[in-house]
Amino acid sequence: MKKRIAVIGFGAAGIGYVEELKNSEHQLVIFEKSKDVISSSLSGIRSDGKIFISKEMGGTLDIDVALQKRVVDFYLKKSDVSEDKIEHGVSFGAQNSDFYRRFYVNGFLPVSAEFFHIGTDFLKNVMQNIYEEFSSKENISFKFKTKVVDVINNEDNSVTVLYIDVETGETISETFDKAVIGVGRSGHKLIENIKTREPKTVLASTTVDLGVRFELPNHIVKEINEEMYEFKVKLKTSAGYEVRTFCNNPSGYVTIEKYNDDEFVTVNGHSKVNSKTDNTNFAVLVTHSFTHPFNDPVGYGTHISKLSNILAGGKKVILQTYKDFKNSKRTKKLGRVSPTLDSEHYILGDLNLVFPSKTKCAIVEFLEQLNNVIPGVTCPDNLLYGVEVKFYSNVLDNNYFKNISFIGDCSGWSRSITYATCHGVLEAQKELENS
C-alpha cells in the first residue's frame, strides 16, 4: 500500500531511510529544522565525517559488515573526492601488532575498525549531492525550517506531526500514515515530549558518557597516528568505571557543540582535509551507568554540562592543563600547547568543580595508564576541555507504536554515522517487506 511517510530530521539516519525508499511508491516528506541541507545541526555528517566499518563500536545494533561497507561506499561516492585522496586506515587490524600488544598488556581493550575520513570541507559535497538526487525525485519533498515539536499516534493509527515554522513561529499540524523520527542528539526535546506522554516507549534509560576533550601536540602521538587513523581503546578503571577514547583527530580542531537550541554548550573535535593544526585531539569518556530509581541520564549529563557553562560565565567550556586538573588547581596560564579552540569559546578554569571525584579519578587513571603506552600523554601542559558528553542512553522500543519508529542516535541504538545510516536502511527495508 502506498503510504505518506513523514521523515523527521535529515541526518545520517534519515539519509539511510530515504535512500532505501527513494524508488518506492511511498511519498516521503522530510522535515528538517535547519534552513538548508548544509547548515543543519552540528554532527558527524556535517563536521569531520570519519566513517568506519566495525562490529565492535558505533552502536548496539547487530549490523553485518556488508551493509556497513555499502553505506561507507555510498558516502565516499557522494563526496566527489577521488579514492586516493580519501584518508583511510585500519585500527588494531591484527592482534599481533606492536600497539595491540602494548595496549593489551597495560590493561586496555583495543577496538578494531576500518576508517575513512571525508573531512568537514568535503562533507558539503556529500550533503549537496544527496540533496540534489533526493529532491529531483517526485515522491520526495523537503520542508526546511520546520521544527517538529511532537508526533502523536492517533486512534485510527494515523500519525499527527506537530511542527513550528521557524520563520513565522506558526504551529502547524499535518497527518501522515507513518512517521520515522531521526532527529539525532540535537532533537532530544522532541523525544522527551513523546517519552513523557508514552513512557513505555523507553526500554532502558540508565547510561550517559561524560568526560573531556584531550588535546596534545602531534609529535607525541605521531607513531600511533601514522600506524592507525583512529585509536579506540577501553579501560576498566579501579572505581569500576569504563573509560574509552573516542573520535581521535590528528592535526585537528577542538570545537564546541550547541545543545537544546543553544541552551548549553559542550566540547567536541573534528579535522579538515585541507587545513591542519599542530595538535591532535580525542575524547576521554567515562561511562556512567546508574540503577533504579535513576531514569534520567540526559538530565544528569545536561546538568553537569550546564555547570561547566555556569562556571565559565556563559556559553563557554572550561580549559585546564593536565597538571592542574590532576592537582585540583585552577589553570591560570597555559604552557607549550596552544589551544585550537577559538579563545572566545573557553575560559581557563578548574574542571574539578564540575566533575564528581569518581569521574575525575577515572579520567586521571586512564591518562596515566595511556602514558605507559604513549609516553608524553601526561605532559603537564597538555590540555583538557570540558565537558564532553554523549547522550545516547534512552533506548527506544520500535515495536511500541504501529506507525512511529525511531532511527539513529535518538533511538539509543546507534552513535555513529555508519550505524545511524544502517539503522535508517534497515527500518526502510522493514517498510518494503510490509508493503
Ligand X SMILES: Cc1cc2nc3c(=O)[nH]c(=O)nc-3n(C[C@H](O)[C@H](O)[C@H](O)COP(=O)(O)OP(=O)(O)OC[C@H]3O[C@@H](n4cnc5c(N)ncnc54)[C@H](O)[C@@H]3O)c2cc1C
Footprint on this chain of ligand X (rule: CB under 6 A): 8-14, 31-34, 40-45, 47-51, 147-148, 182-187, 190, 247, 257, 268, 270, 408-410, 415-418, 420
C-alpha to C-alpha distance for 247 and 270, rounded to whole angstroms: 8
Q: What is the largest CA-CA distance in the chain?
A: 66
For the CB of residue 84, give the shortest distance to ligand X in the complex, in Å.
21
Nearer to ligand X, 64 or 98 (CB): 64
Nearer to ligand X, 62 or 156 (CB): 62
Which among 1, 2, 12 is positioned nearest to 427, based on CA atoms? 12
C-alpha to C-alpha distance for 311 and 25, rounded to whole angstroms: 53
Is the CB of residue 138 less than 8 Å from the CB of residue 23?
A: no
Is the CB of residue 367 less than 8 Å from the CB of residue 377?
A: yes
For the CB of residue 139, give the shortest distance to ligand X in the complex, in Å.
20
Nearer to ligand X, 33 or 360 (CB): 33
For the CB of residue 121, give the shortest distance to ligand X in the complex, in Å.
13
For the CB of residue 117, give the shortest distance to ligand X in the complex, in Å.
8
Q: First-to-last CA distance in the chain? A: 6
For the CB of residue 258, give the shortest distance to ligand X in the complex, in Å.
10
C-alpha to C-alpha distance for 190 and 196, rounded to whole angstroms: 10
For the CB of residue 39, give the shortest distance to ligand X in the complex, in Å.
9
Nearer to ligand X, 33 or 232 (CB): 33
For the CB of residue 164, give the shortest distance to ligand X in the complex, in Å.
9
Four-point Cα dihedral 407, 413, 416, 417, nearest 10: -30
Name the grid cell of 155: 486512534
| Bridging pattern class, strands 109-110 and 233-236 | antiparallel
Q: Which SS3 state, helix, strand or coil, does residue 337 take?
A: coil
Residues with Cβ within 8 Å of residue 259, at least 6 apart in sequence: 185, 186, 265, 266, 302, 305
Measured from each CB, the residue nearest to ligand X is: 11
Nearer to ligand X, 162 or 334 (CB): 162
Nearer to ligand X, 71 or 311 (CB): 71
Is the CB of residue 293 less than 8 Å from the CB of residue 107?
A: no
Nearer to ligand X, 32 or 114 (CB): 32
